[in-house]
Structure 1
């Protein structure tokens, strides 16, 4: 994923930002908190040597989650949209590693999107990772943690979250994308835009138990990088080999073993209000999940989500490129279809145009909805393959090729 995001990310401007360190305590009957402290850093900035505590405490079950707010110093006292980035890959360590700067890049990502109208980035280490405590439960609590984070944002607009203007987006790929699906199904009208890459909303079907068989290498290798991850898979996940109710908050809809959506079954997709860009690769481990996420949002989401989704399927795996293969013009989709362009267009449209207005509607009406690359042998010359195509719905309409076979004739040839 690192190479993919570094490739897709545009050059960022050199400006100063603030980081607000927040301590909030959520309880079932209300919220108590303290005024955040702040840091001003010159670009490029590093994680402070002795940071103040920046913990967010959420209940059910309780955990303290490290949460940071980034904003441009020129926006101090101004209101603007909020972009949520929830990450399991250790924010503090990313800042201490000057070569990676993953946390820095995530925090700065929206800078180039909005120009002088910068949004505010709410960055959180996921439960059991980074500076957040609680047990690592493989996305099991992200529906609640993400929901509670947004409720704090909404309920403190006149105090800690002085910048909040009622518009929220979320961003990220892989694990940063999977957890977005979890809280998107919690009926949050203010969550209006999501950029989700190489991820799936269906953790049973596409992540843990594809076809009813545990994806042992994938799930155990990945969770092995987190404290208690392997033990959680061994002691908890394996106790649910079928898609029982335990998976409900790890899923948006019912799928059969072939991956077909059952519209009359379990449906949290109807609670999704966000417009979205869904980025995937044909050779990605979550290729089917990316398409399923698009389908669930676009056809089964709320009225504000339906017909406000964009799907982008490239000749890639879980990042660029695909092994040693180099597909012709793989990085040159039709105008406006580059992942950076789609990201920029989505957040500009949702953050700075009001839903229901003619200007908002015309932007969505005029924009292509599906970008997909037709793969073949990279070395052949054929105008019908190894090229980008656009359509406005998925799946693509097609007529199957009919084949006719006859018994072998006396001559030994089929006719």
Structure 2
């Protein structure tokens, strides 16, 4: 896996040839690969619940970790790190593969944590591209049982690999999924640097979501620590590309994904983007528990007072991720109509253009912002003219927010077009 000129990872080498049957069966976006429904049906045949938005599951919860340090050290309610730590403490795994800060070849990389201290060092959200090849080589070389933490396409890829390779089928014992809106390219943090009056070469450590009682959980603040120790901050709200839903620097493959909630994982986690939790600065998780063993672990944590969780239904979970589900269901159905039959990805969503014109306009604009953000940023880097990209980004964001929904009411252009329902 290597970075392309846009800061997105792409596979390279003879193995990735169009004639490679094995690669086609491993890539989570390949039409030759099994889809999420097929994988889940085989892995979780006796699930108590099944929902076309959440997938198969045993139970769902909202809440946070009570046990010290997990919630305070994480971006949200601390549930991902708590479950990973519990797997280590119970001796169910020898290591956890997850994204951690790295001083080599990028700000973050996948590595294996074998202790609680190492695990805590990898807490918090990382909106930066990473890839699995190095850590999979380590799992292949070192006997033991492992858990892998990842976004939906990574977890799906792990299961596709397990189907082909008995060694990984034996050694990767658990998968912990992260709800995903889309993946960003490496240029996002570089844009943060430009907008805080510095350069990417001067940055030693980025933080994407700071916690503090002065800001609600859904008010993201980016922080860059520079090589000289100086710290610079800026709220996402004031960034030219700080509206996540607009799609700046979105990985192109994310336009064709229909899995928001990591349906093939043993347990999946997201943020509780509903009140009163979205205003709670401490952060709150929603969790979809899919395997019986994970359910036993969660129920034990609740009974012991280590977890403060409340059981919720599928509609509650879906409501916390409503915007992402619209993009991956309604929006995906529309995007599929743009492709000719021979080039159309095979997805669980049927192609459909049965949408009001303003909704189509929003999906078109989001797609174009995603594509052109890569191109304009690349051009700005080549010409050493950050303002070229930033002026375009501000204008694009203004147009997007004028069409979409924000601060509880439709944007100005949405009102003029008669778009009065939520459309983010």
Q: TM-score, structure 2 length as denominator?
A: 0.30
The structure having more radius of gyration, on CA atoms, is 1
TM-score (norm. length: structure 1): 0.30
Q: Which has the higher contact order (CA 8 A, sep 6+)?
A: 2
Please identify which structure carries the higher strand content: 1
